[in-house]
A = this chain, B = another copy of it.
Amino acid sequence: AQAQTEAPSVDLSGYTRVKQDLVAPPFAPAHEQVATGGPKIVEITMETEERLLTVDEDTGAEIWALTYNGSVPGPLIIVHEGDYVELTLRNPVDSMMEHNIDFHASTGALGGGGLTHIFPGEEAVLRWKATKPGVFTYHCAPGGAMIPYHVTHGMNGAVMVLPRDGLKDRDGNPLKYDSIAYIGEQDFYLPMNDDGDYKTYEVAGDDYSDSIDAMRTLTPTHSVFNGSVGALTGENALRAKVGETVLMIHNQANRDSRPHLIGGHGDFVWENGKFGNPPQTDMETWFIRGGSAGAALYTFKQPGVYAYVNHNLIEAALLGATGHFVVEGAWDNALMEQVVAPKSIET
């Protein structure tokens, strides 16, 4: 802190200031894929929100989620390499807890965590330079056991730092997308009563001791996309058309995952999420290291419903890690054809 106070101020005269309006997942804020103009200071505001969240309607499982802007994951932030992110972070006066933010994409001070500890009723402003291109996790990190407690209560999200000239394949050819699907996989460790029912709590933080015990098993009760079972299915399914390209961003702030698109592929995949590296091609299943974000580009070639899953199928089917893409367009028998529909075996 001493060193920071005494450091010379930085000349920002070459930068343009812009505001970025954050939106709720699975959507992405308005942005350019290839930067126009010089570097920017991108101003964003986030508020910590502690809220009771239903994780699974079927069982009534719920959690006092700790969130940025009310969503799990927190909103996607998008800038270009060389831009600054300037975040105003606010903790409402009616919160129960201290929060902060650690940006994996930033450099120094515990990713900003050391400079943003705010108690209920406080705010702080942090500015950091996006020097490394890629998708990166951010999360709350108040210290000690509170770090996994806040992170496994939903307090995490992702920032995407695009190369100024956009995404490229391994040979340097440009890659574009038509839409972004921003998916946060969240492992929850919900305490249970002896009879197997999920416990309920009065306010945020009351589950602390029970949660620590549940976390120590390293076995989540839920692993869901975007906060709850079904957050990306049915009416909430993602939508696309044949011929469209989607950039799937998968954030997992704590636990490994292995996304797979049933019936599709990762045409170009940055498993580690860092765009300075050549993407891998033709992937069936890619791996997200716990505490990172990854990105996969796919151009839909057939209509229908595609399930997007964590391909530990137990986690997909029993713990909640399933979303859907509904894709419209014309079927292509050159890729797949039902030559004979199911019928009685000829004998």
Task: Please give the residue numbers on chain A whose beta carbons come within 8 Å of chain B beta carbons, in ascending order.
Answer: 3-4, 6-10, 86, 88, 90-93, 102, 104-119, 121-129, 131-134, 136-137, 141, 144-145, 147-148, 151-152, 212, 215-219, 253-256, 258, 260, 262-265, 271-274, 276-277, 280-287, 289-293, 301-307, 311-319, 330-346
Q: Is the CB of A260 within 8 A of B104?
A: yes
Q: Is the CB of B148 within 8 A of A335?
A: no
Partner of A110, one of B147, B307, B313, B341: B307
User: In whole angstroms, how far apart are the Cα atoms of A263 and B105 in the complex?
Assistant: 8
Known: A109-B302, A124-B342, A133-B282. 19 other contacts (CB 8 A): A3-B330, A10-B333, A104-B284, A107-B265, A109-B338, A124-B340, A126-B339, A127-B339, A129-B334, A132-B281, A147-B313, A147-B317, A148-B314, A216-B314, A256-B256, A271-B272, A276-B281, A277-B282, A292-B311
Q: Is the CB of B333 within 8 A of A7?
A: yes
Q: Is the CB of A291 within 8 A of B281?
A: no
Q: A104-B284, A291-B258 are in contact. Are A121 and B340 (CB under 8 A)?
A: no
User: In whole angstroms, how far apart are the Cα atoms of A132 and B341 in the complex?
Assistant: 25
Q: List 24 A-B contacts (CB under 8 A).
A: A4-B333, A6-B331, A7-B331, A88-B340, A102-B262, A109-B302, A110-B263, A110-B304, A122-B343, A124-B343, A125-B339, A125-B340, A129-B335, A136-B284, A147-B316, A148-B313, A148-B317, A218-B312, A218-B315, A255-B312, A272-B284, A272-B285, A274-B284, A291-B313
Please provide the 4 A-B residue pairs with the shortest distance between their CB atoms, ordered closest to farther.
Answer: A291-B311, A108-B302, A125-B340, A148-B313
Q: A124-B338, A262-B111 are in contact. Are A3 and B311 (CB under 8 A)?
A: no
Q: A122-B345, A152-B314 are in contact. Are A284 and B292 (CB under 8 A)?
A: yes
Closest Cβ–Cβ distance, residue A280 to chain B (whole Å): 5
User: In whole angstroms, how far apart are the Cα atoms of A51 and B294 in the complex?
Assistant: 40
User: In whole angstroms, how far apart are the Cα atoms of A238 and B105 in the complex?
Assistant: 23
Q: Is the CB of B340 within 8 A of A123?
A: yes
Closest Cβ–Cβ distance, residue A81 to chain B (whole Å): 10
Q: Is the CB of B335 within 8 A of A131?
A: yes
Q: Residue on B with the closest CB to A265?
A: B132
Q: A125-B339, A314-B152 are in contact. Are A263 and B107 (CB under 8 A)?
A: yes
In the complex, what residues of B have CB within 8 A of residue A336's CB?
106-109, 112, 115, 126-129
